[in-house]
Structures are given as C-alpha cells and as structure tokens.
Chains A and B, each alone.
Chain A
Amino acid sequence: MSEQEIKSAVSHFILNEFLPGEDPSALTDTTALVSTGILDSIALLKVVTFLESHFGITLEAHETGVDHLNTIADIVRLVRSKLA
C-alpha cells in the first residue's frame, strides 16, 4: 500500500469521525491532533481500532500516544513501519 493511499484513508477517517464538516484541505500532514486536543484518549482508541482493522496491523500499547499518533504524517509513518 502506498504512502498516499495510507494518508488518504487516515485523513478520510479522521475527517469523517472527528471533524465532520471541516474543510479537508485544512487537515494537513503536520496538523497536531493529540497535543491540541482534537484527539483525546478516547478518540485515540478509535483511531487505533480503525488502523488495526483497516490496515490489518497490530499496534502495541506503548505506540498509543503523542509520539506516534499526533499528526497524519506520524500515523502514516507508524502504519508503514508495521506494514513493512
């Protein structure tokens, strides 16, 4: 799966699930999601569930946090490392 496909799927999920009605172009690769409070701990669990089911990957508990899930770029990097 290409980086672009991963990014598209993740962005689509986040926009639909958490930011309905927002302009898709406003969500960039580097938009901070966790540290700005857009994603709280409960939302992170939803993201994790989505990533695991959509990409068929398994995440670890210590990967659930601002280091790996703060931006679309972080999430794409994490997914790619799992798919590699």
Chain B
Amino acid sequence: MAVAPGDSRGPIGARRLAFVAIAVQFGLITLLVQHWKLENLTFARLLQLAFIGFIVHHLLPLRFRLPFFALFSLASIFIVSVPWLGVLAGKVPLLDLLGRLVPGAALVGIGLVLIGVCHLPIPFAARILVLAAIGGSLAVLRANAQWVPALSDIWIILGSMFVFRIMVYLYDLKHRTAPFGFWRSVAYFFMVPNVCFPLFPLVDYKTFNATYYNEDWSRIYQTGVHWMYRGIFHLLLYRLVYQLAPLDVANLSSNLDVAGFMVGTYLLYLRVSGQFHLIVGLLHMFGFNLPETHHLYLLASSFTDFWRRINIYWKDFIMKLFFYPSFFALRKRGPLKAMALATLVTFFLTWLLHSWQWFWIRGSFLFTWQDISFWAILAGLVLVNALYEATTPRKRTLAASRVGLGARALTGLQTLGTFLAICALWTLWSAQSAEELQALTDALTAPSTRDLAILVGGMLTIVVSGMIWGRSGRDSSEGGATKAARAPFNFWRSVATVSVGTACLLALPALSVHGGRHVEHLVATLRGEQLNVRDMAQQRRGYYEELDEAQVNHRRWRNTAAPKGWHDGRAAILRERSDFLMSENAPSVSTILSGAPATTNPLGMRDRLYDPDKPPGTYRLVLLGASHELGTGVKDDETFENLVEDRLNRENRSATPAKYEILNLSVAASSLFQKQQRLEQVGFELKPDAVLFCIYAVDREFVVGHLAKAFRAGVEIPPGYREFLTDIARRAGIHGSLPKLVIQRRLQPFMPELIEWVFHRFKTECEARGVRPILIYRPTPTDNLDLESTGRRELLGPAAAIGLTVIDLSPAFEGIEDRRSIYLAEWDEHTNARGHRLLADTLYPQLAPLLGVGTSGIEAGAQ
C-alpha cells in the first residue's frame, strides 16, 4: 500500500518535503490574493496571518491545535477591525483603539452567550425559547441599527456566524451526533475567515468535527491549497464575466446579446462558488477535511442534480433539518405524497430562510416577486423531477461501468436543457424589474447566420462538457465527506498543478504588457474592483434618479455603499422642470454636495456671482456640462472651469479684454439635447463670446435616458427639435407607453444621427449669433478603456466632420496608475479636486491660444 507523503509511517524527509511544498503553495496563494486584489483588503491581510497561523498550528501537538484554531478565529475578529501597525507605531490614541475593539468584543460576547444558552441545564425546549427571545431582541436591534451605532458593523457577521449554524448546532446537540466542548464550539461558530465574508458556507457541525484530521495531513492540506487555487480561478472568471458579458439590458441589440446577458447573469454566481472554495480550502489548512461546497454545478443534468451540486452545504442543511423531519412526519400519507409535501416544505423554508439571511445582511426582509417566483418555479421543477426519479429508477451499478455513447449523449442533452432552464430562471431572479425582462425580449430579433453559428457552437460545447464530466459528477455529489467517495489522490500532481497555476497567474500582469494595450488593460481591469459598464451606468442613474435598491445592494456587497446623506446635496440643488429641459439648478442654494460645500448663485449656476449683463471689456464664455463640470464633490473654487478662469485672468496681459468670465451652466446628468436647449434658452441671453460645450463617453447613456424620459412624460418637444425627434421616434417604433428601458434600447441604433444633429445645431445656432462654438471632450475618471475609446470615437468623428473646434482633455487622466486616486470616494467616481486640477491644466494650454491670451491679438467680441 502506498504511503502518503505526510503519513507518519513514511520517512521524515518525505514528510518535511511535503510540508514545505504545501507551505510554498499556500504562500503563493497568499501573494496571489494580494496581487490580484481578490475580494477585500481585509481578507488579504487575514490570509497573510492565516499563513503564519497555519505553520504554527501544524507544528503544535495535535491536542493543542483545536484550541489554537479557536483562539486564532477569535483573534481574527479583532485583527481585521484594528489598524495594528498604527497601534504599534503609537499613532492610534487609546480611546480610539478601545472604540475599535468594542464591536469585536460585543460580537464575541453575544456569541458566547448564545453558545452558553445552548448548554443551559434546563429542558431543551426551554433553551430554544430563551434563544428565540435573545434572537428576537437581536433582530430588533439589527432592524434598528441606528439605535446603537457602535455596534452597527457587527450585525452582518453575527448573522452570518449564528443564524443558521445555531440551528445545526442545536440539532446535533439534541441528537448527540457529535462531540461537544468549549473549544469545538468556539471554533465552529467563530471559524476563520468568517469575519471577512458575510456569505459563508453553512458548515455542518457534525461534519466539522467528524472530518477534523480524519485523513493524512498532507492530503487534507494539499486539498486545501488546491481548492483555494480553484476558488481564485472562479473569482477571476467571475471578474471576466462581470467586465465583459453584455449585462446592460439597455444596450442589447441581438439574440447573441440576449444569450450573453442570460448566461452572464448566471455565471456571476462564480463569485459565490469562488469564495466558498477559498473559505473551505483555508479551513483545510487547519485540519478540517470538509467536503466540496459546489460540484460542477454548471453541468447539472437535471433540476434535482442542480439542487444537489450547487451550494451543497445549504442543501445538506435543509435536508437534515427540514426535508427528512418533514418526510418522517408525513410518511403515514404514503411515501410519494410525503416526499412531495416535504419537497414543497423544504423550498418554502429555503425561500423564507434566504429572506431571513437577507434581513441580517440588509436590515430588511427580501419579499420581491422575482425571489418568490424563482423559488416557486424551482420548487415545482425539482418536485416534478424528484417524483420522476422516484417512480422511474435510474440505472445504478456497483462497479464503475462503461457508459455508452448513447447514454453520454443523453446526459449531454440533459445538461444543456438544465443549463438553459437555469439561465432563464436566474435571469428572472436577478431582474431588477419587469421592465428589464420586457426590454430583454424586445432585444430578440431574427438571428443572423453568425449569431446562430455562435449560439449552436456554445450549446454544443455544453453538450460535450456534459457528456464528458456531467455524468461522473452527478453520482458523487452526495456523501462526498467520506473517504470512500473521494477520487484517487496524487499529491505531487496536485502540487505541480497548483504551483504552476499560481506562478502563471502571478506573472500574468507583468507578461500582459507584451500583449498589446487592450490585453494589458483587460488584465489591469481584472486586478481591481472596478465597476463594469452597467454598474457605472446604474451608479450614474442612481445618483441622478434616486439610488435604486439593486444598486444599493450591489455596493453594499462590495462594502462601498455611500454614507447616509452623501446624495442629499443633489436633491437640494437639482430640481425638476416640466418642459423638455426636465431639470435645472435651484438658485441661491448652499448645501453639502457629495461631501463638499456647494453654492449656486442667483442665476442658478453652481458658480460665482456674475452680472447677467456682460460688463464692458469682458470676454464671456458659457460652459455647458453635467455633474463633473458642476463640480460635484469639490469646493466652489476648485472646479476646473474656475481654475481656468482664474488662470486666464492671471496670465492675461492685455487691456482688451480686461477680464475673462466662464459662466457655468452645467446641470447634473444633462444630455446633449438638454445642453443645447439650455444654451438656447439661457446661455445666449448672457451674451457669450464663446461656448464651451462639454461632451463625454457616457453621453450616449444620457441622451437615451433623457429622450426616454421625455417621450414617456409626453413633454412638448421644442420647435426646431420636434420634427427631427418625431421622425426618430417613428422610425424607432417608440411611443410614450413603452417601458423606459425598451425606449432606451430602441434609441441606441440612432445615436450617430442624434449626435450629429445636436452638433450641427450647436454650430449653426452659435455662428448665427457670432458666438464661437467649442466642444470639450472630457474623459471619465474611471479607467474603462473600451467605454472611453468607443464613446470618444462616436463623438469626435461627427464633430470633426462638421468642422467644430474640439479641445480633447483625454490626456488629463492618462498615466494615472491608480484611478481611484482621482475619485471622490470608493462609492463615488466623480473626480476630486486633483482631477479638476488635471483637467484645468490640460484645458488651459489648449483654450488660451484660441482666446489669444498672451498675445496682442485678442479675439473679437469682448465688447
């Protein structure tokens, strides 16, 4: 019989070599998590400590290891909440340090009380009552987190640690199916790295204990690093899908896009499976030989199979605590009926418990039609499938038998059917509104040959994958915790796979520079937590239209939600209009706009005081822009237009004009049409000599958003615009009763026409009044190369064709390594004061020569 590398019967040299190999891989994975900025910074820090903890833990005698793990888990709660480097350097005042320790101490204290109650020497039912009372009180505090601000950070983690695990714990305690003890309990509830992950695999208490060093350590540890590596792979795939899949329903234009949207939506789940692999892999490093949390779930070949493969721990929990007890309680009604009813009970409780979990994460329950529909449909599908399996037994064999091509082909087709059905179901579940589903179906068109070829190719890939891997996985998705279920294990092959894989991933960013600008940029994008195009769009929509729930959820998951009140200033400044302009700035407002004091002047400009009548000897420019030009999040004198105005006046050596003025007519989220209309309604009244009309890569989104809103509201389209826009609406098949997303989607193909029309009107209206028209292309602070290059090309092409003067500010943000350094905050990608200075520094040298500053030949018009 072969001896495992870590087996105590083997030579000591081989054991040491095995341990060194495992430690090296763990070290590489730690570096990888940091290098690719996976999940959060806290986890990266914790993983570094876990690496040291792993070595210490392994060197300890076996009897000390569990207490060590329990203490390390408790310590992790304080490690992540305190800046220890600052403390050690004496930079954190004592009171501040104590304040930071309070939430962790409260979490541990509450947890220990809950564990203690489970063991009170009172009847079991009484213990449950006491726990229910405590749980109810904690839930009230959770729902009103503002009552105890000092504890507001602990609720999500407390919920993640105790809400479900205590049910499992009590169940096993009642049936005495596992050993109990202080260190076991502490280790189970507070297990590292739970403090970093609100979504944590629901580890079974019995399995947690039964698998502790139940095999040779080398196999357990090597499985751990292998699963962590697999988790990293899932997380990188998730980022790839998140960045590249067509997930913005307003931009879908073909069947291929629709398929990409649906598959992409399902594949976003890779984040959860990646996290779970990472977490359970880490637990292996401390001796917990836990089973897989997910098993090739994308290749499930039936709905029951899907249920068995995805989030296996949850399935085991629900089966153990609810399905089997329900079946046993109902079995007198007959096995089939009992099974059917138990299945329905199980899914009902799954839905309810998900909502309960949501409550602990969000502070409110999840009761949406999408969620209810998803669980109801899935319950129905699994029930029908289970009844079929119960009445039509599948072929089983004792020995591993050869599976014929016909059977494999059938599995492949079943895999495809299940995959497509789950994609559809997942799309329903993830839909933010019925409108989104309507826009999705609206995007379906007669497929082109190319689309068909790609779709068929994709489906064939799934069928073949199902034929190769689907069948074997299905048969081992249950009972995977036992040795008998495990596949043969080749230690050194696993070491080679993980080592080479991690080394390649570590080297990839450096190698990507040789793959061209787009490859380099893609890798750089995957290395960060940058929002994709859809979420950036949602953020803008949210900022301007009201933060929608989904967006809040998304950012909360990412721990980057804006603090309360961040957007209040916007409501104070921005006010609605009932005409085509739709919005304007309120005059004479003083507020805090995204963290910075902001005022509007009596003319409704976020700007200094100006006389409506242009003073003699003044060269006046008006600026038309949106929230960046408005100066969201920077002080009044920090906006790039004020910086340029000051510099023009500072460096002007001429007597005529004696002064330059830039009047800021920017209003948040203004589309091209709104800016042009504002110029005609307000701007020209101010007698400008030149107009600075700002354009940006996201103009497409603003234009379709504005026009959709205007069409739906039925506002009167101004003369001059009416004929053109009515014709566009007719050709696009748009009418006011269509959902907004459908209108936006149908307007997309007309963007070139819309842009060209506005630019043309801008030029002719200015020239008719002797005003100089200047377009300013302002880059977005986010480093989204595709969005920026596409949007820029779409705008600058027509501008050049029409003969408009364009000042391109693109170089302003080029070369900034970390674009977050020019964001206002993690949750707000408007540019900060530094960004405004960079914009001003880029604008001035291009604008000044146009105005003749520094020369004697001042442009005419300064009267």
Tell yes or no: B479 within 8 A of A by CB. Answer: yes
Interface segment, one of B281-289, B392-400, B571-579:
B392-400
With a cutoff of 8 Å between Cβ atoms, the chain B residues found around residue A52 in the complex are 331
* CB closest residue in chain B, given A27: B398
With a cutoff of 8 Å between Cβ atoms, the chain A residues found around residue B386 in the complex are 42
- CA A23 – CA B398 in complex, angstroms? 9
* CB closest residue in chain B, given A28: B398
With a cutoff of 8 Å between Cβ atoms, the chain A residues found around residue B177 in the complex are 62, 67
Closest CB-CB distance, B63 to chain A, in whole Å?
25
With a cutoff of 8 Å between Cβ atoms, the chain B residues found around residue A26 in the complex are 398-399
Cβ proximity bits A31-73 to B, threshold 8 Å, 1 near / 0 not: 1101111101111011011001000000111101111001000
With a cutoff of 8 Å between Cβ atoms, the chain B residues found around residue A65 in the complex are 320
Interface segment, one of A2-10, A14-22, A76-84:
A14-22
User: How many chain A residues touch B (Cβ–Cβ < 8 Å)?
Assistant: 32
Q: B320, B390, B477, B479: which contacts A42 (Cβ < 8 A)?
A: B390
Tell yes or no: B155 within 8 A of A by CB. Answer: no
Cβ proximity bits B330-342 to A, threshold 8 Å, 1 near / 0 not: 0100010011000
With a cutoff of 8 Å between Cβ atoms, the chain A residues found around residue B308 in the complex are 40-41
Tell yes or no: B476 within 8 A of A by CB. Answer: yes
Contact of A34 with B479 at beta-carbon distance under 8 Å, contacts A61-B325, A62-B177, A64-B324 already known: yes
User: A59 touching B328 by the CB < 8 A rule?
Assistant: yes
With a cutoff of 8 Å between Cβ atoms, the chain B residues found around residue A49 in the complex are 331, 335
User: B481 touching A66 by the CB < 8 A rule?
Assistant: yes
Contact of A36 with B324 at beta-carbon distance under 8 Å, contacts A18-B393, A22-B398, A46-B335 already known: no
Q: B171, B323, B484: which contacts A35 (Cβ < 8 A)?
A: B484
With a cutoff of 8 Å between Cβ atoms, the chain A residues found around residue B397 in the complex are 19, 22
With a cutoff of 8 Å between Cβ atoms, the chain B residues found around residue A45 in the complex are 327, 335, 338-339, 390
User: B478 touching A41 by the CB < 8 A rule?
Assistant: yes
Tell yes or no: B482 within 8 A of A by CB. Answer: yes
Among A42, A48, A64, A65, chain B packs the most CB atoms within 10 A around the CB of A42
User: B389 touching A19 by the CB < 8 A rule?
Assistant: no
Chain B residues touching A, range: 35 or more
Closest CB-CB distance, A1 to chain B, in whole Å?
22
With a cutoff of 8 Å between Cβ atoms, the chain B residues found around residue A67 in the complex are 177
- CA A38 – CA B475 in complex, angstroms? 7
With a cutoff of 8 Å between Cβ atoms, the chain A residues found around residue B304 in the complex are 42
Cβ proximity bits B284-327 to A, threshold 8 Å, 1 near / 0 not: 00000000000000000000100010000000000110011101
* CB closest residue in chain B, given A52: B331
With a cutoff of 8 Å between Cβ atoms, the chain B residues found around residue A17 in the complex are 393
With a cutoff of 8 Å between Cβ atoms, the chain A residues found around residue B484 in the complex are 32, 35-36, 70
User: B335 touching A36 by the CB < 8 A rule?
Assistant: no
With a cutoff of 8 Å between Cβ atoms, the chain B residues found around residue A31 in the complex are 398
User: A37 touching B475 by the CB < 8 A rule?
Assistant: yes
Among A35, A38, A49, A67, chain B packs the most CB atoms within 10 A around the CB of A35
Closest CB-CB distance, B628 to chain A, in whole Å?
57
Q: A19, A42, A43: which contacts B398 (Cβ < 8 A)?
A: A19
- CA A52 – CA B327 in complex, angstroms? 13
Q: A22, A27, A34, A48: which contacts B478 (Cβ < 8 A)?
A: A34
User: A32 touching B474 by the CB < 8 A rule?
Assistant: no
Contact of A38 with B482 at beta-carbon distance under 8 Å, contacts A61-B325, A62-B177 already known: no
Among B171, B328, B386, chain A packs the most CB atoms within 10 A around the CB of B328
* CB closest residue in chain A, given B342: A45
User: B479 touching A36 by the CB < 8 A rule?
Assistant: yes
With a cutoff of 8 Å between Cβ atoms, the chain B residues found around residue A70 in the complex are 479, 482, 484
Cβ proximity bits B366-408 to A, threshold 8 Å, 1 near / 0 not: 0000000000000000000010011001001111000000000
Contact of A35 with B485 at beta-carbon distance under 8 Å, contacts A41-B319, A42-B389, A62-B171 already known: yes
Within 8 A of A (CB), among B433-478: 474-478
Q: B325, B327, B331, B485: which contacts A32 (Cβ < 8 A)?
A: B485
- CA A32 – CA B482 in complex, angstroms? 10
* CB closest residue in chain A, given B331: A49
With a cutoff of 8 Å between Cβ atoms, the chain A residues found around residue B485 in the complex are 32, 35-37
With a cutoff of 8 Å between Cβ atoms, the chain B residues found around residue A19 in the complex are 396-398
Contact of A35 with B390 at beta-carbon distance under 8 Å, contacts A42-B339, A49-B331 already known: no
With a cutoff of 8 Å between Cβ atoms, the chain A residues found around residue B399 in the complex are 26
- CA A34 – CA B478 in complex, angstroms? 7
User: A61 touching B324 by the CB < 8 A rule?
Assistant: yes
With a cutoff of 8 Å between Cβ atoms, the chain A residues found around residue B331 in the complex are 48-49, 52
User: A36 touching B175 by the CB < 8 A rule?
Assistant: no
With a cutoff of 8 Å between Cβ atoms, the chain A residues found around residue B323 in the complex are 41
Closest CB-CB distance, A41 to chain B, in whole Å?
6
- CA A45 – CA B331 in complex, angstroms? 10
Tell yes or no: B480 within 8 A of A by CB. Answer: yes
* CB closest residue in chain B, given A64: B324
- CA A62 – CA B482 in complex, angstroms? 17
With a cutoff of 8 Å between Cβ atoms, the chain A residues found around residue B474 in the complex are 37
- CA A70 – CA B393 in complex, angstroms? 19
With a cutoff of 8 Å between Cβ atoms, the chain B residues found around residue A59 in the complex are 328
* CB closest residue in chain B, given A18: B396
With a cutoff of 8 Å between Cβ atoms, the chain B residues found around residue A34 in the complex are 478-479
- CA A48 – CA B328 in complex, angstroms? 9
User: B482 touching A66 by the CB < 8 A rule?
Assistant: yes
- CA A35 – CA B479 in complex, angstroms? 4
- CA A19 – CA B177 in complex, angstroms? 31
- CA A61 – CA B482 in complex, angstroms? 20
With a cutoff of 8 Å between Cβ atoms, the chain A residues found around residue B328 in the complex are 59-61, 64
Residues of B within 8 A of A (CB): 171, 175, 177, 304, 308, 319-320, 323-325, 327-328, 331, 335, 338-339, 386, 389-390, 393, 396-399, 474-482, 484-485
Besides the known contacts A22-B397, A40-B389, A42-B390, 8 further A-B residue pairs in the complex with CB atoms under 8 A apart: A26-B399, A36-B479, A37-B477, A41-B308, A41-B478, A42-B386, A60-B328, A64-B324
Contacts A/B (CB < 8 Å), 21 sampled: A17-B393, A19-B398, A22-B398, A27-B398, A31-B398, A32-B482, A32-B484, A32-B485, A34-B478, A34-B479, A35-B478, A35-B479, A35-B482, A37-B479, A41-B323, A42-B339, A43-B393, A45-B338, A60-B328, A62-B320, A70-B482
Interface pairs A-B: 5 shortest CB-CB: A35-B479, A37-B475, A32-B484, A35-B482, A61-B324
